[in-house]
Amino acid sequence: MGRGRVQLRRIENNNSRQVTFSKRRSGLLKKAHEISVLCDAEVALIVFSNKGKLFEYSSDSSMERILERYERKLYAEKQLASTGSESQANMSLECSKLTSTVEALRRNLRQFQGEELDALSLRDLQLLEQQIGNSLKRIRTRKNKLMHESISLLQKRERALQDQNNVLAKKLKENEQIPSEHAQQEPQHPAQNSSSSSSVQPPATIQFPSLTIGGSYGAMEGTNKEVQLNLNLNLVPIL
C-alpha cells in the first residue's frame, strides 16, 4: 500500500518535527534551484527555523540585489495603489462638483424662464431682472447689427442690379438706333444716283448768230384768222 496523505498540521513531536523540517528544507532548496535554472528566474529563498536559525538560497550571487529589487517593486505597487485611490477620490470629488454646478445652472435657467421664483428674495429678484435686462440689451444690439448688415448687403445687390439694368438698357438703345440709321441711309442712294446722273449733262449745242425778218399780213376775206409769217434766215458765218 502507498503512503497516505499527510495532514497539514503542526507536528507535536519535537524529534519528528526536526526531521521533517530538515527533509522539507532540503527539498525546498532543491526545487528553488531547479526553477531558477530551468526557467531563468531570479529566486531568493529565506527560511528561519523555530529556533531562529537562518537558511537561505539565492539564484544570484548577491541576495541583497534581489531584495532591493523586491523592495522597489513593492514600493512602486504601493505608490500606484495610493495614486489610484487618490485619483478615484479626486474623480469622485470632481464628479460631485460638476453635479452641483449642473444643478445650479438648471435652476438658473428655470428662473430665467420665470419658474421657481418663490425661493428668491427681493434682492435676488432685482439681480435676476437686471441680468435679464442686460441680456435683452445685448440681444437687441446683436439683432440690430445683423439687420444693418443685411440691409447694406441688399443695397449693394440693388446697386449692382441697377448698374446691370443701365448697361442692358444702353445696349438695347444702341441696337435700336442701328436699324434706323440703315433705314435712313438706304433712300439716299437713288437720290445720289439721280443727282449724279443729273449732274452729267449732254454737251450744249452751239448757238450761232441769226437774222430774223418777219411780217404780218391780213387774213383772207370772210375769216377772222390772223396769219403771221416768220421768216428766219440763219446766216452761218464763214470761218
pLDDT at position 209 over 70: no
- C-alpha distances in angstroms, 220 versus 179, 224, 225? 74, 8, 8
Separation CA 27–CA 206 (nearest Å): 172
Average pLDDT value for the chain: 76
The residue ranking higher by pLDDT, 163 or 228, is 163
| Span 200-209, average pLDDT | 48
Contact 25, 55 (CB under 8 A): yes
Residue type, 152: S
Task: Provide the pLDDT confidence category of residue 2 given band limits of 50, 70 and 90.
Answer: low
pTM of this structure: 0.34
Q: Dump pLDDT digits (tens) for 167-189.
A: 999 989 888 887 766 666 655 54
Q: Do residues 238 and 208 lie in contact, with contact meaning Cβ atoms separated by under 8 Å? A: no
Distance (Å, rounded) from C-alpha 133 to C-alpha 135?
Answer: 5
* Domain map (residue ranges) of the chain: 12-59
- Whole-number pLDDT of residue 184: 63
Q: Is residue 235 scored above 50 in pLDDT?
A: no
**What pLDDT digit, counting tens, does each position of 33-59 carry?**
999 999 988 899 999 988 888 888 888
Would you state the pLDDT for residue 115? 85
pLDDT at 233 over 50: no
pLDDT(61) > 50? yes
Cell of 98: 460638476
Beta strands in the chain (DSSP E): 44-48, 54-58, 211-217, 227-233
**Residues belonging to the chain:** 239
Element (H, E) at 235: none
Percent above pLDDT 70 for the chain: 71
Q: Cα–Cα distance between 138 and 133 in angstroms, integer?
A: 9
DSSP letter for each residue of 49-72: -TT--EEEEESSS-HHHHHHHHHH
User: Using one digit for the tens of pLDDT, what is the confidence trace for 73-113?
Assistant: 888 888 777 776 767 777 888 888 888 888 888 888 888 88
Residues 6+ apart with CB under 8 A from 104: none
Q: Is residue 228 within 8 Å of residue 212, measured between CB atoms?
A: no
Confidence grade of residue 152 (pLDDT, cut at 50, 70, 90): very high
Q: Is the pLDDT of residue 72 over 60?
A: yes
Residues 238, 97: Cα–Cα separation, whole Å:
149
Percent of the chain whose pLDDT exceeds 90? 21
Q: Is the pLDDT of residue 236 over 50?
A: no
C-alpha to C-alpha distance for 43 and 63, rounded to whole angstroms: 9
The fold of 12-59 is: SRF-like (3.40.1810)
Return the sign of the alpha-carbon dihedral for residues 97, 98, 103, 108. positive
Separation of alpha carbons 232 and 212, rounded Å: 5
